Structure 1
Amino acid sequence: MTVSLDPAVDESPRNPATPLPRLIAVMLSSNVGALIALLTPLQLLLTLQTTRIAGDGAAAAFGVITGVGALFALVANPLAGRISDRTAARFGRRRTWILTGAIGGALAVFALGFTTEIWQVVIVWSITQTLFNFQQAATSALLADQVPPLRRGTVSGFIGLAAALGPLLGIAAVSAITDPLVQWGVIAVVSVVLGLLAVALLRDPQHVPAQGQAGLGLVELLKSFWLNPRKHPAFGWAWLVRFLITCAYASGTYNAFYLMDRFGIAPEAVGGAVLLLSLISVGLLAVTSVVAGPISDRLRRQKPFVVAAGVLAAGSLVLLALAPSLEIVYLAVGVLGVGTGLFFSIDSALCVRVLPSAENAGKDFAIINMANTIPQSFVPFIAPFLLAVGGFTALYVTLALFGILGALAVLRIPEIGWEGDSRWAQITRAVSPARVPVP
Structure 2
Amino acid sequence: MKLDTRTDAGGVWSATMTNDQQTKTPIFIGLAVGIGALLWLGPFMGLNSVLNPAKLSNIMGGSGAGVNNFLALLGTLGAVTSTITTIIIGALSDLTRSRWGRRTPWILSGSVLTAAVMIGLGMVNFEEQLPLFIVLWCLLQTFINFIVAPLIAVIADRVAPMHRGMISSVYAAGYIIGQYGGPVVGGVFLNDANPGMVNTGYYVLAFVMLLSGPVAAIIMREKSSLNMPKTKMDWSSFVRYFVFPVHNALDLYLALFGKMLINIAVTAFSVYQLFFLTSGMGLDQTPAGKYISLMGIATMVTALIFAPISGPISDKLKTRKKPVALSALLIAAGTLLPFIFNTPASMLWYGIVAGIGSGIFFSVDQALNLEVLPNAENAAKDLGILNFANTGAQILGPVLGAILFDIVGGQYLPILPFLTGIAIVGGVLVMMIRKVQ
2:224 maps to which of 206, 214, 220 = 206
Q: Given the superposition, is the C-alpha separation of residues 198 and 63 from structure 1 closer, same or farther in structure 2, using an over 3 Å criterion?
A: same
Match of 2:11 in 1: none
- In 1, Cα distance between the equivalents of 2:291 and 2:19? 44
Contact 1:54-1:118 within 8 A present in 2 as well: no
Cα-to-partner distance string for 1:247-289 (whole Å, 9 max, x where unaligned):
2222222111211111112224432221111111111111111
After superposition, residues 28-427 of structure 1 pair within 5 angstroms as: 28-56=34-62, 57-116=66-125, 117-177=129-189, 179-207=197-225, 213-215=231-233, 220=238, 224-228=242-246, 231-250=248-267, 251-390=269-408, 391-414=411-434
- In 2, Cα distance between the equivalents of 1:216 and 1:74? 24
Deviates more, 1:302-311 or 1:150-159: 150-159
Structure 1 segments unaligned to the other structure (5+ residues): 1-9, 419-439
- In 2, Cα distance between the equivalents of 1:69 and 1:375? 11
Contact 2:262-2:426 within 8 A present in 1 as well: yes
Contact 1:293-1:345 within 8 A present in 2 as well: yes
Distance apart, 1:203 and its partner CA: 2.2
Cα-to-partner distance string for 1:295-342 (whole Å, 9 max, x where unaligned):
112222212211101111221222232232222222123111111111
Secondary structure of the residue aligned to 1:89 is coil
- In 1, Cα distance between the equivalents of 2:417 and 2:186? 31
Q: Which 4+ residue blocks in structure 1 deviate beyond 6 angstroms?
A: 13-19, 216-219
Distance apart, 1:104 and its partner CA: 0.9
* TM-score, structure 2 as length reference: 0.86
Percent of counterpart pairs with the same letter? 24
Contact 1:296-1:302 within 8 A present in 2 as well: yes
* TM-score, structure 1 as length reference: 0.85
Secondary structure of the residue aligned to 1:413 is coil
Contact 2:95-2:102 within 8 A present in 1 as well: yes
AA partner of residue 142 (structure 1): V
AA partner of residue 216 (structure 2): A
- For these two proteins, the number of residue pairs brought into alignment is 407
Contact 2:328-2:427 within 8 A present in 1 as well: yes
- In 1, Cα distance between the equivalents of 2:21 and 2:135? 38
The RMSD of aligned alpha carbons is: 2.7
Distance apart, 1:82 and its partner CA: 0.4
- In 2, Cα distance between the equivalents of 1:19 and 1:175? 37
Contact 2:36-2:213 within 8 A present in 1 as well: yes
Match of 2:3 in 1: none
Match of 1:432 in 2: none
- In 2, Cα distance between the equivalents of 1:294 and 1:145? 20
